[in-house]
Amino acid sequence: MGATFTINRTEQPRIYVACLAAYNNGILHGAWVEAAQEPWAIYDEVRDMLAASPVA
């Protein structure tokens, strides 16, 4: 028997933002952000993701 895969689709576009400092240290740290919102809201979510990063 073959594997069964489920594809999750969203109605709104999203972007994945990641911390480059963490990535350069071998850690994947990031978050999915809804793209259909005001630029300042995206900025706030990116800022929060970076604040939670394990690498300064």
Would you state the structure tokens that stand for residue 16, as one six-digit string? 């994945």
pLDDT at 25: 98
Kindly report the number of other CB atoms within 10 A of residue 19's CB atom.
Answer: 22
CA 33 to chain centre: 6
In a domain? residue 2:
no
In a domain? residue 45:
yes
pLDDT one-digit tens code per residue, 7-52: 766 578 999 999 999 999 999 999 999 999 999 999 999 999 999 9
- Do the Cβ atoms of 54 and 22 come closer than 8 Å? yes
In a domain? residue 37:
yes
pLDDT at 5: 66
In a domain? residue 7:
no
Our count of domains for the chain comes to: 1
> Is 48 exposed, middle or buried, given 0-12, 13-18 or 19+ CB atoms closer than 10 A?
exposed
pLDDT at 11: 79
In a domain? residue 9:
no
Residues of the domain holding 30: 14-51
In a domain? residue 6:
no
